[in-house]
């Protein structure tokens, strides 16, 4: 699943390729992935151009003249830039053709991704965008903010780190890495997190996400960003997917468990309970 660093890599890559090019044609081959009316979507995009691409959490925000196109890649969504002459692939569901005969093609094997067109003034009211919590590295993400969010929670810290309304953009891979770097047991309840541990989460999430973005994200399973850019953060993973391998700090074999259905990797010694 693309995480914040992957989505940021896609944003930066697309920004170099598609801005200020006139949209000539729009094809919607799977309309359920659009939360907007198909005909309206085509009409608004045609003749328009993307002026900028922003991001909030894992949402990409494409700026048009009077609208925003919101896009969430979910599990398998990818954008490809192709020559318009190129044969259409099976899972290319939305094709936006520019006047220079290049296409922006949205590819999604599992069809979980979503796109929505909204008027610019609606962005402030958009629930999906506004409910996002602070991002790693953002000023508002402080230990006090986290303690306030965690204090009544009886559920594992691992699950809380994946809650996008608390921290926006941390997915399973980075949540595992942040907890390992912060020496926090993933099963520890939110309400038991100390000030010191919350401080570690703030510092480590910033450090890990910044590094992942610099390296273009992490490529695991089917994820590749647009233009076949391959993330190199995979080589930097300290705990994720390292089951039974020795902990890089203490040599204890790394354990794997499921928390809320998600694979959780941790060192039972470095990340002791309590
Ligand atoms: Zn260890």
pTM: 0.81
Q: Is the pLDDT of residue 29 over 50?
A: yes
Is the same domain home to 157 and 248? yes
Domains in the chain, number: 2
Question: Given this model, what pLDDT does residue 213 score?
Answer: 83
Confidence class for position 222, pLDDT limits 50, 70, 90:
very low
Per the structure, the complete domain to which residue 183 belongs is given by 143-266
The domain boundary, picked from 130, 161, 192, lies at 130
Q: Residues 167, 234: one domain?
A: yes
CA 238 to centroid of ligand 1, rounded, Å: 10
DSSP collapsed to 3 states, the chain: CCCHHHHHHHHHHHHHHHCCCEEEEEEECCHHHECCCHHHHHHHHCCCECCEEEEECCEEEEECCCEEEEEECCCCCEEEEEECCCCCCCCEEEEEEECCCEEEEEECCCCCCEEEEEEHHHHHHCHHHHCCCECCCCCCCCHHHHHHHHCCCCCEHHHHHCCCCCECCCCHHHHHHHHHHCCCCCCCEHHHCCHHHHHHHHHHHHHHHHHHHHCCCECCCCCCCHHHCCCEHHHHCCCCCCCCCECCCCCCECEEEEECCEEEEECCCCCCCC
CATH number for 214 = 1.10.8.50
pLDDT band, residue 127 (cuts 50/70/90): confident
d(CA 201, CA 188): 13
In a shared domain, residues 174 and 197: yes
Domain boundary pick from 130, 161, 196: 130
Residue 224, pLDDT > 60, answer no
Residue 230: phi and psi, rounded to 5, are -105, 130
Residue 54 CA to ligand 1 center (angstroms) comes to 38
Range of 4-8, 125-129, 264-268 with top mean pLDDT: 264-268
Q: How far apart are CA 80 and CA 258, in angstroms?
A: 33
Is 50 exceeded by the pLDDT of residue 201? Answer: yes
Give percent above pLDDT 70 in the chain.
93
Which of 98, 130, 162 is the endpoint of a domain? 130
Residue 137 located in a structural domain: no
**Ligand 1 centroid – CA 230 distance (Å):** 29
Q: Which residues surround ligand 1, an ion (CB under 5 A)?
A: 247, 249-250, 252, 267, 269-270
Ligand 1 center from residue 227 Cα (angstroms):
38
- pLDDT value, residue 225: 45
23 in the same domain as 119: yes
Whether residue 274 is contained in a domain is answered as: no
Question: Could you tell me if 254 and 219 lie in one domain?
Answer: yes
What does the mean pLDDT of the chain come to?
90
Q: What is the CATH number of the domain that holds 75?
A: 3.20.190.10
Active centre residues (catalytic): 2-3, 58, 262
On whether both 27 and 49 belong to a single domain, the answer is yes
Residues 14 and 100 in one domain: yes
148 shares a domain with 124:
no
Whether residues 70 and 122 fall in one domain:
yes
Q: At which residue do the structure tokens 């470095």 appear?
A: 270
Residue 273 lies in a domain: no
76-80, 93-97, 237-241: least confidently modelled range: 76-80
Angle at 73 between CA 67 and CA 79, to 5 degrees: 80
What's residue 85's pLDDT? 94
Say how many Å lie between the CA of residue 252 and the centre of ligand 1. 5
Distance of CA 182 from the midpoint of ligand 1 (Å): 12
pLDDT of residue 228: 47
Average pLDDT over residues 135-151: 96
Give the pLDDT mean for 158-164: 96
Distance (Å) from CA 269 to ligand 1 centroid: 5
In a domain, 65, yes or no: yes
Residue 30 lies in a domain: yes
Residue 87's Cβ-side half-sphere holds a number of Cα atoms within 13 Å equal to 2
Q: How far is the CA of 175 from the centre of ligand 1 (A)?
A: 17
Q: Is the pLDDT of residue 231 over 50?
A: yes
Do residues 26 and 113 both lie within one domain? yes
Q: What's the pLDDT band for 128 if we cut at 50, 70, 90?
A: confident
């Amino acid at each position: 699943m693309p995480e914040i660093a992957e989505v940021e890599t896609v944003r930066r890559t697309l920004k170099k390729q598609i801005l200020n090019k006139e949209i000539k044609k729009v094809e919607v081959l799977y309309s359920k992935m659009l939360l907007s009316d198909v005909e309206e979507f085509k009409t608004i995009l045609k003749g328009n151009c993307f002026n900028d691409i922003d991001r909030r959490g894992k949402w990409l925000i494409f700026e048009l003249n009077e609208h925003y196109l919101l896009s969430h890649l979910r599990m398998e969504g990818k954008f490809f830039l192709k020559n318009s002459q190129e044969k259409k692939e099976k899972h290319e569901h939305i094709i936006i053709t520019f006047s220079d005969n290049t296409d922006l093609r949205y590819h999604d094997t599992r069809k979980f991704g979503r796109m929505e067109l909204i008027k610019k003034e609606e962005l402030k009211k958009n629930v999906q965008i506004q409910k996002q919590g602070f991002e790693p590295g953002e000023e508002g993400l402080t230990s006090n903010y986290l303690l306030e969010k965690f204090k009544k929670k009886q559920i594992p810290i691992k699950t809380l780190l994946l809650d996008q309304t608390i921290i926006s953009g941390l997915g399973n891979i980075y949540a595992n890495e942040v907890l390992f770097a912060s020496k926090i047991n993933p099963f520890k309840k939110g309400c038991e997190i100390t000030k010191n541990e919350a401080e570690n989460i703030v510092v480590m999430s910033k450090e890990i996400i910044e590094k992942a973005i610099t390296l273009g994200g992490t490529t695991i399973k089917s994820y590749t960003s647009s233009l076949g850019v391959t993330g190199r953060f995979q080589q930097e993973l300290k705990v994720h997917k390292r089951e039974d391998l020795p902990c890089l700090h203490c040599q204890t074999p790394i354990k794997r468990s499921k928390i809320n259905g998600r694979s959780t990797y941790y060192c039972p010694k470095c990340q002791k309970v309590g």
